[in-house]
C-alpha cells in the first residue's frame, strides 16, 4: 500500500528539512521525501495549504480499560487520540486490575492491535497494585512490552522503595515516570492552597507538596544515576529544582500539560469540579514559570494527562468529584494557540516537545518523519479557528474546562503506518 502526501509544508524539528514537499509512504514506512514525486499507483492526499509533521506522541494518557470503561475504553481513547493528532500514546497503569504484571501488559498490546487505530504503549506500575509496598518485576514487564514504569495517581511515598525501583528500572532500560506530590499534604484536598481555597473555605493542596517530592526524586536520580521523569509539573519551585538539577547533569526529564500554562486556580471559581485536576491549577506566577521552563528547555515534553470521567462524576462537589481533564482532542490546538501564535515558541520547538522528546524519553522509535521511519504523520492547518465543543469529542469523557474556547490550529488528517485513521469532515 502506498500513500503520497502532495505539496504539504513539512516541519522536521530534528533534520531541519522544511518547505513544500511530497512524502511517499510505502508499506508503512516513509520511502521518499522530495520536492516532487510521481507515483501513479499511490493513493494521493492533497496537502496543499497544510503543514505536515510526524505524528504526535503523548506519553501520559489514562485509557481506563480494564475496569473503568464507563469513563473511557481503549477504542474510544484511540479515536480521541487520532482526532487530536496523536499517533502514539502511552497509557498509565491505574486500571482495574492494575497493569502490574506481564499478562496485563500483553492485554493492552493485544487490544491495541485489535483496534488498529493508533500505537498504544503500556506503562506498568512501579509497585504491585500501585499500593507502594513492594516493587514490580521490571525485566518481565519490559520483555512483555512495557515502555516505562509509573504509579501515577498514587505517588510513591517510600523513598526507599523509589530508590530500589529506580535502580532496577535503570538496570533493565526503563524510565520511571513519577507523580510528585506528598500524599500526606494533599489527601482529601481539591484545589491549590491560596486565596481561592480560602475563599471557598477549603483546605488547599500546597505547592510545596509537589516541590518536596520533585526534590526527593531528583536527589534519588542523582545518587543512583538512574533516569527519572517528573510528570505534570505545575509549580515554579518544581521548574527551578529541575532546571538546577539538569545543570548538574542529573538524569531528570519532565513534562507539563496545556492546563498548567493556560489556566489558573481562578478557573475553579468559574467552573467548579470541571477545573479540578491533579496536581491542581496554580497561580499566575506558576503559569509564568511553566512558560519559562517550556521556552528554555527545562520542560522536555508536553503531555495531556488525558483523564476522562463521566458527567455524573464531574457533577459532584469539589471535594467528591474526581480530578482530571479529557485532553487528547484539545491539546494541540491549545498549544498552538498559547505558544505558537503568541510567539513564545517556534513551530519546530513545539513539535519537538510533542513528538521526538517524549518518544526518546520512553525509548520508542517514534517522533520522526524521515526516510525509513514509520509512516505516522499529521496534516494540520495552523491558522484555522475552531471552537471546543465537548459534545463532539470521540472520547467518552466530555470533561474539559476549555469548552467554548476558540482555538487557532486544527488537525485535518492523522496517518498511522500510511493509513488515514482520521480525516476532519472539512479536511480541504
Instruction: Tell me the CATH number at 290.
Output: 3.20.20.140
Do 389 and 331 fall into the same domain? no
- For the chain, 428 residues long, give each residue's pLDDT as a single digit of tens: 899 999 999 999 887 767 899 999 999 999 999 999 999 899 999 999 999 999 999 999 999 999 999 999 999 999 999 999 999 999 999 999 999 999 999 999 999 999 999 999 999 999 999 999 999 999 999 999 999 999 998 999 999 999 999 999 999 999 999 999 999 999 999 999 999 999 999 999 999 999 999 999 999 999 999 999 999 999 999 999 999 999 999 999 999 999 999 999 999 999 999 999 999 999 999 999 999 999 999 999 999 999 999 999 999 999 999 999 999 999 999 999 999 999 999 999 999 999 999 999 999 999 999 999 999 999 999 999 999 999 999 999 999 999 999 999 999 999 999 999 999 987 65
CB of 416 closer than 8 Å to CB of 55: yes
415 pairs with which residues across the strands? 377, 420
Do 149 and 35 fall into the same domain? no
pTM of the model as a whole: 0.97
- The number of folded domains in the chain is 2
Do 71 and 44 fall into the same domain? no
Do 10 and 109 fall into the same domain? no
Do 178 and 268 fall into the same domain? yes
Q: Is 12 a catalytic residue?
A: no
Give the per-residue SS3 of the chain. Answer: CEEEEEEEEEECCCCCCEEEEEEEEECCEEEEEECCCCCCCCEEEECCCCEEEECEEEEEECCCCCCCCCCCCHHHHHHHHHHCCEEEEEECCCCCCCCCCHHHHHHHHHHHHHHCCCEEEEEECCEHHHCCCCECCHHHHHHHCCCEEECCCCCCCCHHHHHHHHHHHHHCCCEEEECCCCHHHHCCCCCECCHHHHHHCCCCECHHHHHHHHHHHHHHHHHHCCCEEECCCCCHHHHHHHHHHHHCCCCEEEEECHHHHCCCCHHHHHHHHHHCCCCCCCCHHHHHHHHHHHHHCCCCEECCCECCCCHHHHCCCCCCCCCCECCCCCHHHHHHHHHHCCCCCCHHHHHHHHCHHHHHHHCCCCCCCCCCCECCEEEEEEEEEEECCHHHCCCCCCCCCCCCCEEEEEEEEEEECCEEEEECCCCC
378 pairs with which residues across the strands? 53, 414
Q: Give the pLDDT of residue 18.
A: 77
Q: Give the pLDDT of residue 426.
A: 73
Instruction: Please check whether residue 369 lies inside any domain of the structure.
Output: no
Instruction: Please check whether residue 367 lies inside any domain of the structure.
Output: no
Q: Give the pLDDT of residue 357.
A: 98
Instruction: Please check whether residue 273 lies inside any domain of the structure.
Output: yes
Instruction: Please check whether residue 301 lies inside any domain of the structure.
Output: yes
Do 190 and 59 fall into the same domain? yes
Q: Give the pLDDT of residue 14.
A: 85
Q: Give the pLDDT of residue 427.
A: 63
Instruction: Please check whether residue 368 lies inside any domain of the structure.
Output: no
Do 280 and 394 fall into the same domain? no
Do 203 and 188 fall into the same domain? yes
Given 12, 100, 300, 305, which residue is catalytic?
Answer: 305
Distance between CA 215 and CA 224 in Å, rounded?
14
Q: Residue 388: give the domain boundaries.
A: 2-52+374-423
Distance between CA 332 and CA 302 in Å, rounded?
10
Q: Can you read off the three cell numbers belonging to residue 402?
A: 476549555
Instruction: Please check whether residue 46 lies inside any domain of the structure.
Output: yes
Do 48 and 69 fall into the same domain? no
Final residue of a structural domain among 339, 362, 385: 362
Buried b (16+ CB within 10 A) or exposed e, 68-90: beebbbbbbbbbbbbbbbbbbbb
Do 204 and 353 fall into the same domain? yes
Contacts of range 169-172, beta carbons closer than 8 Å, 24 or more positions apart: 169/138, 169/226, 170/224, 170/225, 170/226, 170/227, 171/138, 172/138, 172/139, 172/142
Instruction: Please check whether residue 393 lies inside any domain of the structure.
Output: yes
Amino acid at each position: 500500500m502506498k500513500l503520497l502526501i502532495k505539496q504539504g509544508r513539512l516541519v522536521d524539528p530534528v533534520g531541519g528539512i522544511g518547505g513544500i514537499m511530497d512524502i511517499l509512504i510505502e508499506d508503512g514506512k516513509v520511502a521518499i521525501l522530495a520536492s516532487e514525486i510521481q507515483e501513479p499507483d499511490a493513493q494521493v492526499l492533497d496537502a496543499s495549504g497544510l503543514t505536515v509533521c510526524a505524528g504526535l506522541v503523548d506519553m501520559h494518557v489514562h485509557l481506563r480499560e480494564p475496569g473503568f470503561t464507563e469513563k473511557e475504553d481503549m477504542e474510544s481513547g484511540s479515536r480521541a487520540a487520532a482526532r487530536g493528532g496523536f499517533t502514539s500514546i502511552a497509557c498509565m497503569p491505574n486500571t482495574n486490575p492494575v497493569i502490574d504484571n506481564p499478562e496485563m501488559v500483553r492485554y493492552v498490546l493485544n487490544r491495541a492491535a485489535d483496534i488498529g487505530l493508533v500505537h498504544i504503549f503500556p506503562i506498568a506500575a512501579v509497585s504491585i497494585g500501585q499500593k507502594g509496598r513492594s516493587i514490580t518485576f521490571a525485566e518481565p514487564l519490559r520483555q512483555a512490552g512495557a515502555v516505562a514504569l509509573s504509579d501515577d495517581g498514587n505517588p510513591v511515598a517510600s523513598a526507599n522503595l523509589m530508590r530500589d525501583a529506580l535502580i532496577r528500572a535503570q538496570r533493565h532500560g526503563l524510565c520511571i515516570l513519577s507523580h510528585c506530590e506528598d500524599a500526606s499534604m494533599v489527601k482529601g484536598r481539591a484545589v491549590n492552597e491560596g486565596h481561592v481555597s480560602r475563599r471557598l473555605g477549603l483546605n488547599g493542596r500546597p505547592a510545596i507538596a509537589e516541590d518536596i517530592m520533585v526534590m526527593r526524586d531528583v536527589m534519588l536520580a542523582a545518587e543512583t544515576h538512574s533516569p527519572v521523569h517528573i510528570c505534570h509539573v505545575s509549580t515554579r519551585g518544581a521548574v527551578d529544582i529541575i532546571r538546577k538539577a539538569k545543570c548538574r547533569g542529573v538524569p531528570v526529564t519532565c513534562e507539563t500539560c496545556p492546563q498548567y500554562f493556560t489556566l489558573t486556580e481562578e478557573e475553579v471559581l468559574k467552573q467548579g469540579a470541571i477545573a479540578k485536576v491533579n496536581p491542581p491549577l496554580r497561580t499566575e506566577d506558576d503559569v509564568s514559570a511553566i512558560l519559562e521552563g517550556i521556552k528554555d528547555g527545562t520542560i522536555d515534553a508536553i503531555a495531556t494527562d488525558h483523564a476522562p470521567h463521566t458527567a455524573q462524576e464531574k457533577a459532584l462537589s469539589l471535594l467528591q468529584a474526581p480530578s482530571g481533564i479529557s485532553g487528547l482532542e484539545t491539546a494541540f490546538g491549545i498549544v498552538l494557540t498559547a505558544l505558537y501564535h503568541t510567539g513564545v515558541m517556534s513551530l519546530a520547538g513545539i513539535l519537538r516537545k510533542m513528538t521526538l522528546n517524549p518518544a526518546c524519553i520512553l525509548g520508542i522509535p517514534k517522533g520522526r518523519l524521515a526516510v525509513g521511519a514509520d509512516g505516522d504523520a499529521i496534516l494540520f492547518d495552523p491558522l484555522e479557528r475552531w471552537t471546543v465543543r465537548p459534545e463532539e469529542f470521540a472520547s467518552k469523557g466530555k470533561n474539559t474546562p476549555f469548552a467554548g474556547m476558540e482555538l487557532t490550529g486544527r488537525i485535518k488528517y492523522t496517518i498511522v503506518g500510511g493509513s488515514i485513521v482520521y480525516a476532519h469532515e472539512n479536511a480541504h
